Amino acid sequence: MPAPNVTHHKQVNPMPKDNSRTDLLAADQNLIDGITKNASKLPASFPVGSVTTTPADVVTMLQGRITTGKAVVLAESARTAAVATDKATRAQTQPRITAFKRIIVAMFLQSPDVLGDFGLAAPKPPLKSAEVKAASAAKAAATRKAKSAKAAAPAPEPAAPAAPPAAPAKPVS
SS (H, E, C) 48-78: ECCEEECHHHHHHHHHHHHHHHHHHHHHHHH
pLDDT of residue 148: 80
Report CA dihedral (110, 111, 115, 116) to the nearest 10 degrees.
130
pLDDT of residue 37: 94
pLDDT of residue 126: 81
The set of residues, in sequence order, having a beta carbon less than 8 Å from that of 25 and lying 6+ positions away, is 65, 66, 69, 70, 73
Residues paired with 46 in a beta bridge: 53
Residues 14/30, Cβ–Cβ less than 8 Å: no
- For 52-106, write each residue's pLDDT tens digit: 999 999 999 999 999 999 999 999 999 999 999 999 999 999 999 999 999 999 9
Residues paired with 48 in a beta bridge: 51
> What letter does residue 118 receive in the DSSP assignment?
T
Residues paired with 37 in a beta bridge: none
For the chain, where are the alpha helices, taking DSSP H only?
Answer: 21-37, 55-107, 112-117, 130-152
- Secondary element (H or E) of residue 167: none
pLDDT of residue 10: 58
Helix axes 55-107, 21-37, angle to 10 degrees: 160
Residue 155's pLDDT band (cuts 50, 70, 90): low
- Give the Cα separation of 83 and 87 in Å (integer): 6
